[in-house]
Amino acid sequence: MKLFLASVLAAGIANSVFAAPVPVIYSTDLMHPHVDPDDHFDLACLYALPEADLRAIILDQGDRQAQYPGFKPVWQLNYLAHRYVPAAIGLRDKLKSPADRALDQPAEHQNGVNLILQTLQDAREKVAVVFVGSARDVAAACNRQPGLFREKVRSIYGFIGDAGDPTYQEWNVKLDPQAFVSLMRADVPFYWIPCFDGGVLTNNGHASFWRIQHADVLDKAPEPLQRYFLYMLRHATNDPIAYLAQPTRAEDRDWMMRGPRNLWCGALLDLAVGRPLLHEGNEVVGFSPVEVSVDDKAVVHYGKAPGSRTVMRFEIKDRARFAEAATRATAQVLESFPVRNRQ
C-alpha cells in the first residue's frame, strides 16, 4: 500500500511539473513610445510564465501602430528569451456592429485577425485567448469563424470594462464598444476581468486594478530585462536590441525603481493558464458565474433577461491581501524571466 501511495504521489507531482503549457493568443494595445507602461509589464510576464505557450501577439489599434510601433518591445522580448513569437498589426477601425467581420478594412490591417485564425487552425489543443486592450481583432475573428472558436478556444480572458458603475465607460470598452458587445454575447466561454469596479481607479472587489512601485517588481529582475523597461520608460529611440546589453547608470536605475505604476494584469495573467494567485496557500482571487446582458451601447446589466448569458466574472476573495499577493507574484514571475545566453 505504501508503495502504491508513493507511486500515485510521484505521478501527481510529475503531472503537475511536466504538464504541457497552455497555448495562448494575446491581443494587446502595446505601443512604443508607450501609451500605458503596464502593457510592457504584462507582456514580459507572459514570456516568463512556464505554463504559457505564447503562440501569437496581436498589436491592437492598427491605426496607431505605425507611429507607435509595438513591434519594438516584442523584438526585445523575443531576443532576450531567444524565441520567435509572431506578432501582427491589428484592425484599423472600430467595429460598426457586434456582428461586423471587418472584411472591408484595408488589407494591411487584416494581419492580426488572420494570425488569430491561422494560429487556431494550426493548434492541436485548445487555446486560451487573452486581450488587454480593445476586443476588436478577437471579436472580428470570432465573427468570421465562430465554429473554429467553439472548437479551438478553451476560453477568452478579457481585461476590460467596469463591474459596478453602468454610467462609466472604461477605456478598453471605449476603444471599441461594439467589439466588447460582440464578445460578451459570443457563444464561447468568457472570463471577464473588469479593469475597475465602481468607476475610474476604483476597485470594490471585482476588478484587477492595483498599484505598485517599480522596485516592488523589478528590483531582482535580470538586468537585461530591467533595460527593456528602462528603454520603454525613457521613450528611447536608439537600437532596441543593442540597448539591452548596455550598462545601466546608477542614477537611471534609481530613477526607474522610484516610479509608481498602476497595474491591471501582471501575474494575474497566470489565471488564463491555470496558475492560481495564492497567499499562504489560500486563493486570493477567482471567478464566479454571473448572468449578464449587454445592450447596444455596451452597458452591462446583471440578471436573467432576454439575450442574457453566463460569464465568469473575476472576484477578489481576500481584499486585504490582494495587492500584496499580486505584487509578490508579479515580482516572482519577472525575476524568473528566462534570459538566454546567446553566445
Helix axes 250-258, 223-233, angle to 10 degrees: 70
CA–chain centroid gap for 16, Å, is 23
The pLDDT of residue 1: 38
Q: Is residue 194 reached through a cis peptide bond, with omega within 30 degrees of 0 on the bond before it?
A: no
> 341 pLDDT exceeds 50?
yes
The pLDDT of residue 178: 98
The pLDDT of residue 19: 80
The pLDDT of residue 340: 86
> 287 pLDDT exceeds 90?
yes
Nearest to 195, CA basis, from 127, 284, 266: 266
Superfamily of domain 20-335: Ribonucleoside hydrolase-like (3.90.245.10)
What integer best gives the mean pLDDT of the chain?
94
Give pTM, 2 decimals: 0.93
Distance in angstroms (rounded) separating the CA atoms of residues 166 and 119? 35
Distance in angstroms (rounded) separating the CA atoms of residues 342 and 80? 9
Distance in angstroms (rounded) separating the CA atoms of residues 210 and 106? 38
What is the average pLDDT across 273-302? 97
pLDDT per position as a tens digit, 108-163: 999 999 999 999 999 999 999 999 999 999 999 999 999 999 999 999 999 999 99
Q: How many CB atoms lie within 10 A of CB 276?
A: 12
pLDDT per position as a tens digit, 258-270: 999 999 999 999 9
The pLDDT of residue 342: 55
